[in-house]
Amino acid sequence: MSTIIVRTPVTAGLGELFSTHGLSKKVVMLFDENTRKLYGDELLKTLTDQGFQWKELVVPAREASKSFSTAYRLYGRMIEADVDRSWNMLAVGGGVVGDLGGFIAASYYRGIPVIQLPTTLLAMTDSSIGGKVAINHPLGKNMIGFFHLPKLVLIDPSYLKTLPEREIYAGMAEVIKYGFIADEAFLSFLDLNFKAITELQEPWLTEAVKKSAFIKDDVVTKDFRETSGLRATLNFGHTFAHGLEKLAEYRYLRHGEAVTIGMVCALFLSHNLEYLDRASLERGLSILKKFRFPKGVLKLRFLDIESELLLENMFSDKKKLDKKLRFVLLKTLGEAFLLEENVDNKPVLKAIDDARIFFSGKRLH
Ligand SMILES: NC(=O)c1ccc[n+]([C@@H]2O[C@H](COP(=O)([O-])OP(=O)(O)OC[C@H]3O[C@@H](n4cnc5c(N)ncnc54)[C@H](O)[C@@H]3O)[C@@H](O)[C@H]2O)c1
Ligand SMILES: [Zn+2]
């Protein structure tokens, strides 16, 4: 749906690429403090060399930047700098910068084009693709936003060299998710090359990024506004994850870490409700066993949490319909579906308990 380009360096021939896509060579560059420091000078020089006109905006590198007050301040900076509808927004960073940049682009002058240049594994494989852009409200995460598809998604996996290991694993959770929900062969590839990918070795890294980005784009193309249930399968593991993130105050657990735990719960739930066979469950778990968490995080943010408390917090999932929890389950490895009927609390609690046993390293039943 968007033009996605995966290569190193992705900025070579950018001017021409812009022309081909009917974009002017005028860009507002949005960075966070980290991406500005790491990649700003080099990127701005490339733009100048290629005849671009640019202005730059920098926000603090934290989730709190996805706020209305930040957006409001940046609108002001853009108006003062005479940025009009002929300009584009280019967001350079992780999901925070991508979501904020997309939000501003969707609303400024009733909408200007956004180009995403993701620099985290999560952003390259998930948040920069699909056009969901949002800011947070004190009453809920991602509550205010738009569907605003990027004109271009420029992915250069070499940017990941500076990304902390914790962020690599967090992004890898979404990558594995694509294997689980859509592509068994890809899941096997990820299983086989897990170490190489998380160590950022080529060509495995680029292959994993490319395939993930294209699976997400394909799902979004087929179900843009989440009407058929297909786009909802991207939320595999996420009903559990949202509860965990909420309990961790959206601070002490990375989204991807919550998704890793959530996928273990969802695998157990799929098996316990008799959709997924035992061998597939075991194989899925053996892949998720490879994920690492910083010391203490798993214990404090999951193992020590009462299953009932987690279940309660899952109900605040913004994707709930009435008082019903929506679960994405697996039929087989590589095929997910959105469960339409209501699930009793009992099997959900059992799945959480099973996941706790799995992560505490004890033998399964
Ligand atoms: N729009 C969507 O469809 C969608 C999907 C998933 C997540 N999200 C959103 O994405 C956000 C999370 O994104 P994220 O995980 O990328 O977090 P993030 O943007 O906070 O980035 C994580 C950290 O890595 C730093 N960083 C970024 N690139 C770097 C690099 N190359 N080298 C070193 N450090 C780098 C950032 O400065 C930040 O400190 C959340 O707000 C979430 O709601 C949106
Ligand atoms: Zn996610």
* Domain boundaries along the sequence of the chain: 3-158, 164-359
Expressed in angstroms and rounded, the spacing between residue 233 Cα and the centre of ligand 1 is 21
Contact 16, 164 (CB under 8 A): no
Q: Considering the entire predicted model, what is its pTM?
A: 0.96
> In this structure, are strands 88-93 and 26-32 parallel, antiparallel, or unpaired?
parallel
Q: How far apart are CA 52 and CA 58, in angstroms?
A: 19
pLDDT at 353 over 50: yes
Q: E strands along 150-192, which residues?
A: 152-155
At residue 227, what are phi and psi to the nearest 5 degrees?
A: -100, -30
Q: How far apart are CA 355 and CA 81, in angstroms?
A: 53
pLDDT at 124 over 60: yes
Region 3-158: CATH code: 3.40.50.1970
Q: How far apart are CA 60 and CA 31, in angstroms?
A: 9
Name which residue leads in pLDDT, 282 or 321. 282
Indicate which ligand has the atom closest to the C-alpha of 328: 2
Expressed in angstroms and rounded, the spacing between residue 120 Cα and the centre of ligand 1 is 6
Could you report the per-residue pLDDT of 68-101, keeping only the tens digit for each? 999 999 999 999 999 999 999 999 999 999 999 9
At 362, is the pLDDT very low, low, confident or very high (cuts 50, 70, 90)?
A: low
Report the catalytic residues.
Answer: 110, 132, 174, 216, 226, 231, 235, 238, 242, 255
Could you report the per-residue pLDDT of 22-39, keeping only the tens digit for each? 999 999 999 999 999 999
Indicate which ligand has the atom closest to the C-alpha of 95: 1
Q: How many CA atoms lie within 13 A of 133 on its CB side?
A: 26
Q: How far apart are CA 253 and CA 152, in angstroms?
A: 30
**Residue type (1 letter), 119:** T
Angle at 332 between CA 329 and CA 333, to 5 degrees: 95
pLDDT at 207 over 50: yes
pLDDT at 316 over 70: no
Lowest mean pLDDT among 4-13, 32-41, 44-53, 323-332: 323-332
Percent of the chain clearing pLDDT 90 (strictly above): 92
What residue ranges line ligand 1, CB within 6 angstroms?
32, 34-35, 38, 61, 63, 66, 93-97, 99, 119-120, 122-123, 126-127, 130, 132, 142, 159, 162-163, 167, 170, 255
At 341, is the pLDDT very low, low, confident or very high (cuts 50, 70, 90)?
A: confident
> Is CATH 1.20.1090.10 the classification given to domain 164-359?
yes
At 226, is the pLDDT very low, low, confident or very high (cuts 50, 70, 90)?
A: confident
Label residue 156 exposed, middle or buried (CB < 10 Å: 0-12, 13-18, 19+).
buried
Q: How far apart are CA 2 and CA 117, in angstroms?
A: 13
pLDDT at 364 over 50: no
Cross-strand partners of 26: 53
